[in-house]
Structure 1
């Protein structure tokens, strides 16, 4: 996976939320099914690598990137071929669930230890 989308758009020391959150969505939205799957460690692995390659402050994405109770809206990143999924699947699989915030808090806490 190429993590330069973060390092090229989301730069400190200010970390503009519009740029950082758009980088997160551009990178992760195509993989919402995998990231939201609680049977794998995709979300925690992704955020570990984002932190490793970007050296971002703890909680940056979880505190700045919020769009509602269901997480980030990834509907703009759904390809036309994905529209063949059922309506209920499209509603649930194309948003980041609050799991991402929990994963970030966990990872950032682990990095501080």
Structure 2
């Protein structure tokens, strides 16, 4: 388990070094803590209110019909997240972990849905224009 965490941190810092500020990094699109139940992790507080974000931006568009549409899901996901990209990309805070908790709670999305659907390039999701 410790080796896995070290690998994830190493991967994160490598990606952090090559990503440009206008992208939401792919490693932040995965929902952490999927191995079992856990409380939201403690860490530095988010500078924005994650609990009261307007998740309807995503949940009203990203639905299984019969499969999730990459265009609808990724566009709505970017509308929700891109204005917070710097905070979501920041490793010390818990913004991304909390956001995925609420997205999964309100949208009942499978783990890794946005990581699987939303691929735009090597740097992550392009947030220009959002």
What is the TM-score with the length of structure 2 in the denominator?
Answer: 0.57
1:38 matched to 2:91: yes
| Residue 38 (structure 1) shift | 1.0
User: Is 1:5 paired with 2:79?
Assistant: no
Structure 1: gaps spanning 5 or more residues = 78-113
TM-score by length of 1: 0.65
Show CA shifts across 1:13-63 (max 9, x none). Answer: 311000000011000000011101111010111111111100012221100
Residue in structure 2 matched with residue 98 of structure 1 by the alignment: none
Cα separation, 1, equivalents of 2:89 and 2:114? 16
Would you tell me which structure has more helix in proportion to its own residues? 1
Q: Does residue 20 of structure 1 match 2:45?
A: no
User: Among 68, 71, 74, which residue is 2:121 paired with?
Assistant: 68
Question: Structure 2 unaligned runs (5+)?
Answer: 1-52
Q: Distance in 1 between matches of 2:60 and 2:69?
A: 12
> What is the SS of the residue equivalent to 2:122?
coil
Number of residue-to-residue matches in the alignment: 77
